[in-house]
Amino acid sequence: MSPPLSRARRRLFAAGAVLLVLAGVGTWAAWPDDPDYRTQDARITVRSGPGGDEPVDLDTRLFLPDGASATDTVPAVLLAHGFGGTKESTYADAEELAGIGYAVLTWTARGFGRSGGQIHLDNPDYEVRDAQRLVDWLAARPEISTDGPGDPRVGVVGSSYGGGLALLLAAQDQRVDAAVPMATWNDLANAFLPESTGRGPVDGVFKKTWAGLFFGNGAGVGLGALGDSAAAPDPAALAGAALPGLDPSCGRFAADVCAAYQRIATTGRADQAAVDLLRRSSPAGVLDRIKAPTLLVQGTADTLFPLAEADANARGIAATGTPVRVAWFTGGHDGGDGPQSDRDRVKFVMAQWLDHYVKGTGDAPATSFTWSRITGFNALDRGVVTSGYSDPAYPGLAGTGSSTVTVAGPAQPVANPPAGNPAAISSLPGTGGGLSSFVNGVVSDLPGQHARFTSEPLDRPLDIVGAPTVRIRAASPTGEAVLFVKLYDVDPSGTATLSSGLIAPVRLTGLPADLAAAQPVTVTLPAIVHRVEAGHTLRIAVATADQAFTTPAQPTVYTVGLPGDATAVTLPTVTGEPIASPQVIWRYVLVALLAAIVVGLVVVVLVVRRRRNRHDSSVHPEYADVPLRVDGLRKVYGDFVAVDRVDFEVRRGQVVGLLGPNGAGKTTTLRVLMGLTKPTAGQVHVFGHPLVPGSPVLSRIGALVEGPGFLPHLSGLANLRAYWAATGRPEADAQFERALEIAGLGASVHRRVKTYSHGMRQRLAIAQAMLGLPELLVLDEPTDGLDPPQIAEMRRVLKRYATDGRAVLVSSHLLAEVEQTCTHVVVVNKGAIVASGQVDEIVGESPTVQIEVSDAPAAVELLGKLAGVRSVAVDGDPRQLVVDTNGTARSEVVASLVRAGIGVERVVPRRRLEDAFLALVGESSSGSGDR
């Protein structure tokens, strides 16, 4: 019966699989939406320079949202790229801004890519003036909204080099409506020549690795908190260095910038002229001119432009009353774009900022300060996980509060290695985004080259947000020292963590040779966001050489100590409100899902119960005492009719035989009786109860259908017990002894069923069917596999069983078995009943006689003339005749034949049942099909 079923099953599964695949592919295909903007590339020639008359070609691309037109204008955003990038590096950010309704103008800054000109480091006369001319160009575009003639609604957004431009442009051109500078500088001189006791860039310590990367033009400066991860520089930008006619030592740098770099890099010190040049490219001096509301985004993992740069910008701009908002994210020139949660937060605040101040929609954004702290590693993508916090106002780098932790340690000598080699490694500029390496202890101080001052373990966790300060003393035989002060978080196992690889370089002069005479200096450590867990200790390390900086070449031994035996490290803190991660929504989704499942379950249970209660449980009055009544049973599998129409009944005390060739539909009928299969049509009543799969009345039926089914690893007895346990009925009801007696397995009941012969299993199965002495016993081919004495015994058992009101239904394809066992018989063939009734009646003598004669033709002729003979036929063997008499005695027929001189070899009476059955089997001896 399996082909039609499994076809349906396959269909179901195929449909399911197809659906799944379609859903998957559909989602995948639909994910990257069609762009909702168009782009126009153009080379725009602008005139800039000190006199505003030096033409330069800029390679630009304008992103226009769909629907932008002269009648439906849109606000604009100037999107500037990072150092070494081109307009291509900001493509993804431009797409997003265009997606939220801005015309975005991206361009390659002068000196890079396919734009002309030389690099002047965001010089107000060059790069900034270029950008002003681009604002002019935007003002002339009909699609762009304007505030007045020649004044477009425009914001300026940029990261790093682009961020510097954004600030300088906002200071220089009042047409800018909002600025979003990210990961950028306040004072370029301070950034490249930092000094943490506040002495200024002339005494600064040269950040040689970063400077070299920039000058070499190959730095991974494509940073953008917007997801600009194009760290690889445009090949065209690199090719610039090889253009003919360029000074090979300066590439596309302007001569003054190049000369300044060469002077600083050679000596490691900056002269005032170089500092002035860098300051011209810095927003520091022009912050008071910025009237455009400014959103400052700065990274906590940034050794190039640390948080202090944004802090200085924020203070400078806010001083004139211009709205400023500060957002820190876990990323930067070292940390890359940061984790997704930070990117989302930055994108959100930026869109809010631009929407209000440029587009003119939405409420005024809060000026609250937001930041994030690393809380661990993401288990799935191996990135860092951060938690966001916010505080109503930007507190600066001193925090809203502070804690002090005392570090102690004796004065220690530290050696300055010759030519700064070997040197400690605190950060790896230009590797871009390897945050984990900093947290995980790549950082190393070299023995003999650093002094350590350690605190006691903290008794409670401490959230540092801002720039810690510490006082140290140093002595040097030369009177000068370059030192690096670092704050480590040391866990109980001794692993030291230097937050983001940030260190404070100091250059001390006028030092005594003896520490006792040295005055303490206050060192402001770089601002960090870091949680020190309870039980951890803090360590202040004061080291000499560092790979990222230029240090004195002369070998010297300094002495480093604290102001006393111990000193307090001041650690600023901010108690912010945690920003709910958008991920929290999934928790609600989960709760909703679980609730939905519970509700669904309850509904299903209620519906099922209601349906069951509504189910017709009335007893058919006529059949109340009839063990089994089958009416018009029909079962169709697909287009195959297994049972066409079967009606019969089994009454108390009867042993009914269901007789038919293999495949006549007997087993299908029995399956329906057992509730294994649903009939296509027709009803079955058991003791008047309509029978459906699982009807309780089935518990009054014992069955053997389609052979035994046992747990092969259990003994016969254990199987019977396991079966009875499944009925949930009391053990006393089972009558195991009686069943075992019938099974007649003797000691074998304790053997595993898998060792049984076919016949033994069959007997065990019959015993199982008789457990609890059910009122109706249904046995499918019960004698299959039994030997003759057992068959004889089984017949007796069944006959006996049908006494005291019980009934038995036996199916068989063997005529003899039915004849000898049953009181009644139902003959089925091809799914329909051929004959039924009492065996005696059906088996009774029929008027047909089989006669074997010596001369068949003569006999046929003779008998054909006889009055009492209805028909004569030759049956296979030419001497065999089948004679159908009309009530004439057999003796008469034989006498006639003998009288005519025809020899009679044999006379065999035939019975009705055999007639019927042979007729069936004769027609198709292989059964009526493989059903």
Compute the distance between CA of residue 160 and CA of residue 158 in angstroms, rounded to an integer: 7
Nearer to other proteins, 380 or 747 (CB): 380
Pattern 732-761, other proteins, x by CB under 8 A: -x----------------------------
Q: Which stretch binds other proteins (CB under 8 A): 529-537, 784-792, 869-877, 921-929?
A: 529-537
For the bound state, the minimum distance from the C-beta of residue 222 to other proteins, rounded and expressed in Å, comes to: 21
583 binds other proteins (CB under 8 A): yes
Whole-number Å distance between alpha carbons of 384 and 224: 18
Question: Whose Cβ is closer to other proteins: residue 731's or residue 861's?
Answer: 731
Binding segment for other proteins (CB under 8 A), chosen from 214-222, 328-336, 400-408, 701-709, is: 701-709
**H/E run at residue 611:** helix 584-614
413 is a site residue for other proteins (CB under 8 A): no
| CB-CB contact of 296 with 314 (8 Å) | yes
Question: Whole-number minimum distance, CB 915 to other proteins, in Å?
Answer: 34
Q: Applying CB under 8 A, does 674 fall inside the site for other proteins?
A: yes
Return the range that interacts with other proteins (CB under 8 A); candidates 268-276, 364-372, 612-620, 653-661.
Answer: 612-620
Q: Which tokens in the block code for residue 576?
A: 């912010």
The least CB distance from residue 444 to other proteins, in Å, is 17
Sequence-distant (≥ 6) Cβ neighbours of residue 35 within 8 angstroms:
95, 98
CA distance 209 to 445: 18
**Cα torsion for 708, 710, 715, 719, to the nearest 10°?**
-100
Q: Which is nearer to other proteins, 615 or 800 (CB)?
A: 615
Name the one residue in this structure whose structure tokens are 């079923």.
Answer: 5
Q: Which stretch binds other proteins (CB under 8 A): 190-198, 399-407, 530-538, 540-548?
A: 530-538
Q: CB-wise, 2 or 925, nearer to other proteins?
A: 2
Binding mask 1-20 for other proteins (x = CB under 8 A): xx--x---x-----------
Query: Where in 767-796 is the site for other proteins (CB under 8 A)?
Result: 768, 772, 774-775
Comparison of 604 and 898: residue with beta carbon closer to other proteins: 604
Residue ranges in 422-451 that form contacts with other proteins under rule CB under 8 A: 436, 440
236 to 210, 241, 432, 635: CA distances (angstroms): 22, 9, 21, 78
Distance CA 670, CA 681 (A): 15
**In terms of C-beta density within 10 A (0-12 exposed, 13-18 middle, 19 or more buried), how is residue 404 classed?**
middle
CB-wise, 6 or 272, nearer to other proteins?
6
Per CB under 8 A, the segment of 258-266, 558-566, 651-659, 693-701 that binds other proteins is 693-701
| Three state DSSP letters for 374-441 | EEEECCCCCCEEEEEEEECCCCCCCCCEEEEEEEECCCEEEEECHHHCCCEECCCCCCCCCHHHHHCC
Nearer to other proteins, 30 or 242 (CB): 30
Say whether residue 595 binds other proteins (CB under 8 A): no
Burial class of residue 31, CB neighbours in 10 A (0-12, 13-18, 19+): exposed
Q: How far is the CB of 359 from other proteins (least distance, A)?
A: 29
Take residue 452 and report the two structure tokens written for it.
Answer: 């350590």
The nearest distance, CB 227 to other proteins, in angstroms, is: 15
Interacting residues of 60 by C-beta distance below 8 A, sequence separation 6+: 41, 42, 43, 44, 87, 105, 106, 107, 108, 134
699 binds other proteins (CB under 8 A): yes
Which of the stretches 246-254, 271-279, 710-718, 905-913 binds other proteins when contact is defined by CB under 8 A? 710-718
Nearer to other proteins, 619 or 904 (CB): 619
x/- map, 822-861, other proteins, by CB under 8 A: ----------------------------------------
How far apart are the two ends of the chain, measured CA to CA in Å?
Answer: 6
Pick one of 269, 279, 651, 700: the residue that binds other proteins (CB under 8 A): 700
Residues across the chain:
931
Identify which of 746, 741, 787, 788 has the alpha carbon closest to the alpha carbon of residue 766.
741
The residue with tokens 């060192």 is: 523
Q: Is 677 in the site for other proteins (CB under 8 A)?
A: yes
Task: Compute the least distance from the CB of residue 556 to other proteins, in Å.
Answer: 38
- Residue with smaller CB distance to other proteins, 243 or 726: 726
Asked if 703 touches other proteins (CB under 8 A), the answer is: yes
Q: What is the smallest separation between the CB atom of 699 and other proteins, expressed in angstroms?
A: 4
Q: Which of residues 12-71 bind other proteins (CB under 8 A)?
A: 24, 27-28, 31
Smaller CB distance to other proteins: residue 45 or 440? Answer: 440
Q: Which of 18, 513, 566, 711 binds other proteins (CB under 8 A)?
A: 711
Task: Give the SS3 label for residue 591.
Answer: helix
Give CA separation, 92 vs 58, 64, 226, 401, in Å. Answer: 20, 14, 8, 40
Beta bridge partners of 556: 416
385 binds other proteins (CB under 8 A): yes
403 vs 569: CA distance, rounded Å: 8
Gyration radius (Cα) of the chain, Å = 50
Q: H or E element: which one contains 188?
A: helix 188-192
What DSSP state is assigned to residue 755? Answer: G
| Member of 51, 730, 788, 887 binding other proteins (CB under 8 A) | 730
Q: How far is the CB of 290 from other proteins (least distance, A)?
A: 38
- Beta carbon of residue 349, minimum distance to other proteins (angstroms, whole number): 21
Nearer to other proteins, 356 or 531 (CB): 531
Only one of the segments 223-231, 300-308, 474-482, 707-715 lies at the binding site for other proteins (rule: CB under 8 A); that segment is 707-715
Work out how close the CB of 50 gets to other proteins at its nearest, in angstroms, rounded to a whole number: 50
Q: Which of 261, 357, 710, 917 forms a contact with other proteins (CB under 8 A)?
A: 710
Size of the site for other proteins (CB under 8 A): 84
Question: Strand locations in 185-226, DSSP E?
Answer: none
Nearer to other proteins, 809 or 881 (CB): 809
Contact set for other proteins, span 354-383 (CB under 8 A): 375-380, 382
CB contact at 8 A, 455 and 408: yes
Which positions ≥6 away from 742 have C-beta within 8 Å? 763, 766, 767, 770, 797
Nearer of residues 728 and 887 to other proteins, judged by Cβ: 728
> Which of the ranges 165-173, 324-332, 614-622, 912-920 carries the binding residues for other proteins, by CB under 8 A?
614-622
C-alpha–C-alpha distance, residues 399 and 421, integer Å: 37
Cβ at position 695, least distance to other proteins in Å? 7
Q: Shortest approach of other proteins to residue 372 CB, angstroms?
A: 14
Q: CB of 810: closest distance to other proteins in angstroms?
A: 16
What is the C-alpha separation between 304 and 306, in angstroms, rounded? 6
State CA 923 to chain mean position distance: 63
Per-residue string for binding with other proteins, 464-503, x by CB under 8 A?
A: ---------------------------xxx----------
Give the side-chain half-sphere CA count within 13 A for 381.
6
Nearer to other proteins, 247 or 586 (CB): 586
The strands making up 869-874's β-sheet, listed across from edge to edge, are 869-874, 880-885, 845-853, 904-911
Three-state DSSP at 758 gives helix
